[in-house]
Amino acid sequence: MIKVSNLCKSFGELQVLKDISITINKGEKVVVLGPSGSGKSTFLRCLNCMEDPTSGSIIFHGEDLADMSVDINVHRQKIGMVFQHFNLFNNKTVIENIMLAPIYVAKQRARKAKRNKFFGKPYDESDLIPFAEKKEEIRQRAEYLLKQVNLESKADNYPAQLSGGQKQRVAIVRALCMNPDVMLFDEPTSALDPEMVGEVLEVMKKLALDGMTMVVVTHEMGFAREVADRIVFIDEGRIIEEGSPEEIFNDPKSERLKTFLAKVL
């Protein structure tokens, strides 16, 4: 699904990522652990093209996302991302938040298809479906996804009327509405009250069971043990150790990982 080779990222003289290389396979659940400031979130932001790598490559669907000539917006549609602080638009309802991105993409694709049809270039007939039909299709998918996370009754509510756990579930649905091939989670429960953490983790567990490719930065060790196919431990911008949950938690090899686990378990 994603092949990262020799990824480096610097902010001025501060080198945050140092020669990261990893392959994430289709359907795999990869959990990234590490202390604060180790580069975990920057790694995710590079995968989603929110940060431009200083060097190295990120191959996704056969193209290098680190290549400045590649249209990253096309690929970003297939890489869903869920943030720590929800990032919902407070002036839009839940259903409007979810539908915003797919409607924008549908409009852009329609414009391109019409232009290509006019100039005799190849285009996808499905992109020329009347906008009212396309919008209804998007709404139906949004409503279906809300039902999957038990929030169908909140469709017309505004974010201020939701709990933190509900907001994060809406943020997950918003990403899923784009039909992504991979989902990135950047500490999705860190901003939640303890009693709200479980409801978000349950949605993520269901996604994992459904076969979604996932890369998750988290401090939830129980989730990592239960869901991860592979755990990657990052410290000071480098991958120090990786392996199955059993290997990482029961038989850590590096002293740095042993020290980290002693503090968080």
d(CA 123, CA 113): 5
Sheet holding 2-11, edge to edge: 14-24, 2-11, 55-60, 63-64
Instruction: Tell me which of 41-45, 65-69, 164-168 is least confident.
Output: 65-69
Q: What confidence tens digit (pLDDT) does each residue in 159-194 have?
A: 999 999 999 999 999 999 999 999 999 999 998 988
Q: CA gyration radius for the chain?
A: 20
For residue 85, give Cα distances in angstroms to 10, 50, 167, 191, 192.
Answer: 24, 16, 9, 6, 9
Q: How many CA atoms lie within 13 A of 163 on its CB side?
A: 12
Contact 69, 60 (CB under 8 A): no
Sequence-ordered strand ranges (E) for the chain: 2-11, 14-24, 29-33, 55-60, 63-64, 79-82, 182-186, 213-217, 230-235, 238-243
Across residues 116-139, what is the average pLDDT? 92
d(CA 169, CA 86): 9
d(CA 30, CA 217): 9
Of 195, 169, 205, the C-alpha closest to 82 is: 169
94-118 helix and 131-148 helix, angle to the nearest 10 degrees: 140
Q: What spatial distance separates the first Cα and last Cα of the chain, rounded to whole Å?
A: 31
pLDDT at 176: 96
Round the average pLDDT of the chain to a whole number and report it: 94
Q: 230-235 and 29-33 as β-strands: parallel, antiparallel, unpaired?
A: parallel
Question: What residue has token string 């009347």?
Answer: 130
Instruction: Indicate whether 71 pLDDT > 90.
Output: no
pLDDT category of residue 222 using cuts at 50, 70 and 90: very high
